[in-house]
A and B are shown apart, each in its own frame.
Chain A
């Protein structure tokens, strides 16, 4: 009997995102600042 393809063994099923993708997210998180305005509205700022 031939092998059955499932989501678990399909090519790509055990891949990870690129290191630079994860690094971007970590940098983004560090740079992201949420500030609350006097109106109560939340605004996102990206710090340099």
Chain B
């Protein structure tokens, strides 16, 4: 069977029907984008291969368990798994002590710095993602005030004008939004500190 022009959904259906060749096509179709995404951030060929492998082990497990439901978004879903594994790697690496060279100048310090920046920005991105999901769970009026204040950086006077309420109401909604957000963070165990 020729899968060279098959869509992801067709490859997945065939794979789940027992055609292992479909998985090979699926991996080979996306390997370059996923592996590039990993190696650019990890900068280590062995680790990047490990993370690529772990990513697809999760993909295979999920597909075989019949839990995959991201219709038409296979690549984004797989990239998300890879992204989370990269973050896990950086978090683990941060906890592990490393040997430091004693020379006054070491080129690896410069490389390490840039990798830390990538790490920090990825963790920040993850935290922001978590925070946005929690904000979406707030009551509509509270969500609106919080977004206008923090993301659009409007003053409470401007928020009051825009939402057609008094400044006190806008302030009150903001206060409840923060209280509820804190509760949601505790409930979902989201930690905003890096």
Contact = CB atoms under 8 A, between A and B. Distances in A.
Interface of A: 7, 10, 12-18, 21-22, 24-26, 28-30, 32, 34, 42, 44
Interface of A is mostly: mixed
Interface of B is mostly: helix
Contacts of B159: none
User: Which size class do B's interface residues fall under?
Assistant: 20 to 34
A44 to B, nearest CB: 7
Contact of A17 (B40, B49, B65): B49
Interface stretch (B53-61, B83-91, B163-171, B182-190): B53-61
A12 B53 contact: no
Interface of B: 20, 23-24, 27-28, 31-32, 35-36, 39-40, 43, 48-49, 52-53, 56-57, 60-61, 64-65
A42 B65 CA distance: 7
B117 to A, nearest CB: 14
25 contacts: A7-B36, A10-B40, A12-B36, A12-B39, A12-B40, A12-B43, A13-B36, A15-B36, A15-B39, A16-B32, A16-B35, A17-B31, A17-B35, A17-B48, A17-B49, A18-B49, A21-B49, A21-B52, A22-B31, A24-B53, A25-B56, A25-B60, A29-B20, A32-B61, A44-B61
